[in-house]
Amino acid sequence: MGRTHALTGWCAGLALAPAVGAGSLHQAVVFGATTAGFALLPDLDHPGAKASRLLGWLTGMISWLLRRVSAATYALTKGPRDENVTGKHRHLSHTVLFAVGLGMATAAGTSAGGPWAVFGVVVLGLLLAEGALGDWLLPVSGAAVAWWVWTAPPDHAAQLQEISGWLGFAVAAGCITHCLGDALTVSGCPFLFPLPIAGETWYEIRPPRPLRFRTGKKVEKRLIFPVFAVLAVLLVPGVWDQTTGTLQRLFSPPTTQTATP
């Protein structure tokens, strides 16, 4: 689900950007790309995921540590009706608690670390998203950054510091979008941990059986991904207005003028 996670993260980021103050085109693109990238991060708890292989041994070691912490947390907190599983994949990093905690840590870290910390978070998000969506994302995001540098006030360090105010939201939104996507699959996702539900601390949230889908199968490839691919374009600031305006001009009946006697 790597491509689907990144694409839904991109859509979520563009939809949320105006609400956090990233309303301009270049800000929305950077916000959306960051959300798209961090929509892949929860799968860092799987050794074969793109996030785990992104930076070689470094992300591989982080993945190994996350799996151990997740397994230990599961062993300590599982309820009487929770499954007898390892608790490594789709557990600790697939929770709203993890998403909010990572978002808060990102906001605090970028505020304290200054422009370079902001730059590092944005680049990490871009690299994660590019690995799933393709190389087209880098020139698009690069163009957005270049446009921002060209049009923004000369104090770019201050502009980067301003971005730190909403980067935490982008990171948290990406992780939550990932959890919601996994919750639609057959396996579900225990993203409401540690809220106990039906005797389970790690209750797998999922819709009724007819609405679930299997990852990598026809429903994801032929329905979900194409729908969000269209939304990914329409949610870019200005595109929807341009599209509706063009459609109105094409399909509106021509106006006839009556001659005055």
Look up residue 220 and give its two tokens.
């994801």
Q: Domain range for residue 214? A: 2-249
Can you name the residues that pair with 189 across neighbouring β-strands? 205
Distance CA 146, CA 155 (A): 14
pLDDT average, residue stretch 197-214: 85
Residue 255 lies in a domain: no
What are the pLDDT digits (tens) for 4-48?
A: 888 899 999 999 988 888 777 777 888 888 899 999 999 999 998
Residue 210 lies in a domain: yes
The answer, yes or no, to whether residue 117 has pLDDT greater than 80, is yes
Under the banding of pLDDT at 50, 70 and 90, the label for residue 211 is: confident
Residue 236 lies in a domain: yes
Which of 237, 234, 133, 128 minimizes the C-alpha distance to 175? Answer: 128
Please tell me the predicted confidence (pLDDT) of residue 40: 93
pLDDT average, residue stretch 153-159: 58
Residue 13 lies in a domain: yes
Residue 260 lies in a domain: no
Number of structural domains the chain divides into:
1
Residue 86 lies in a domain: yes
Mean of the per-residue pLDDT values of the chain: 82
Please tell me the predicted confidence (pLDDT) of residue 207: 85
pLDDT average, residue stretch 185-190: 89
> Measured in whole angstroms, how far is the alpha carbon of residue 244 from the centre of its chain?
27
pLDDT average, residue stretch 209-236: 74
Please tell me the predicted confidence (pLDDT) of residue 203: 93
pLDDT average, residue stretch 54-64: 92
Residue 258 lies in a domain: no
Torsion of CA 45, 47, 52, 55, to 10 degrees: 150
pLDDT average, residue stretch 123-132: 82
H helical segments located in the chain: 2-16, 25-38, 50-53, 57-77, 96-113, 115-133, 137-151, 156-183, 218-219, 225-234, 239-251
Please tell me the predicted confidence (pLDDT) of residue 260: 54
Residue 16 lies in a domain: yes
DSSP helix/strand/coil, 212: coil
If one counts every other C-beta atom within 10 angstroms of the C-beta of residue 150, the result is: 8
Please tell me the predicted confidence (pLDDT) of residue 221: 73
